[in-house]
Amino acid sequence: MWARASTAPLFIPARDAIVAALEKGPMTVPDLAQATGKGTSTVKCALHRHLLTNRTVIRTKFGTYALAGTQPPYVSRAEAILAALKNGPMAFQALAREINNPASSLPQFLEPLLEKHKVIRTARGIYALAGTAPVYVPTSDAIISALTKKAMKLGLLVHRVNKLTKTARSQSTIRTVLSRLKEEGKVKQDRPLGEYRLARSVRAR
């Protein structure tokens, strides 16, 4: 007796179904789910565990996928920043122009890279790849760091600040920052030409 042939549709693995769908062109996850008949979670799993990892599939822009070699790959803003800084330190505005990104939204991509120590500030408004240049230390931070150890007069303080920052910051620059710190109540000077010291509230932190 002959067995009846199964009428159930042939099972196609999600990976194969996605590749077949992408032969028609780039698609988003919802597009792929509809084209393959697979759930969105299944599509995402196949993309991230297999097809993106083995580079069969690439991102062409955020949330859109294509077969490798058929479209230019998507480059995130973070990747674009790192690539641009491989050429050397760049000013904020120049970096925004280099990656074709509005200056107003650049901080949202720069700040995570700074927090992860992949990018550093080398001067006010100047950025570089970590390890390629000394890290920028604001003058106010260097003054407070120096005065944390002991009170000192202006001449010695200038020497300590320049040693900490590994730069040559002028006496007038440091005097200007000291004036601001005094106004903010962070630094005190008991008498003209006397020693500078941290305010008690700053020492207690």
Q: In 3D, which of 48, 40, 52, 38 has the Cα closest to residue 9?
A: 38
Beta carbons of 141 and 169 less than 8 angstroms apart:
no
Mean pLDDT of 99-118: 94
- pLDDT over threshold 80, residue 184: yes
- pLDDT over threshold 60, residue 6: no
Q: How high is the mean pLDDT of the chain? A: 90
pLDDT confidence bin for 109, thresholds 50/70/90: very high
Q: In 3D, which of 76, 87, 59 has the Cα closest to residue 113?
A: 76
The reported pLDDT for the residue numbered 10 is 77
pTM of this structure: 0.58
Mean pLDDT of 28-38: 95
Lowest mean pLDDT among 7-16, 36-45, 187-196: 7-16
Residue range 132-178, pLDDT digits in tens:
988 888 899 999 999 999 999 999 999 999 998 888 889 999 999 99
Task: Give dist(CA 47, CA 199) in Å, integer.
Answer: 57
pLDDT confidence bin for 56, thresholds 50/70/90: very high
Looking at per-residue pLDDT, the higher value among 168 and 204 belongs to 168
Secondary element (H or E) of residue 29: helix 29-36
Q: At what angle do helices 171-183 and 154-165 cross, to 10 degrees?
A: 100
The fraction of the chain above a pLDDT of 90, given in percent, is 77
Mean pLDDT of 75-93: 94
Residue range 58-74, pLDDT digits in tens:
999 888 999 999 999 98
The reported pLDDT for the residue numbered 204 is 45
Residue range 23-32, pLDDT digits in tens:
999 999 999 9
Task: Give dist(CA 102, CA 83) in Å, integer.
Answer: 17
Q: Which residues pair with 123 in a beta bridge?
A: 126
Mean pLDDT of 30-55: 94
- pLDDT over threshold 50, residue 39: yes
Kindly state the tokens that stand for 186: 């962070």
Please report, as a single letter, which amino acid is at residue 182: K
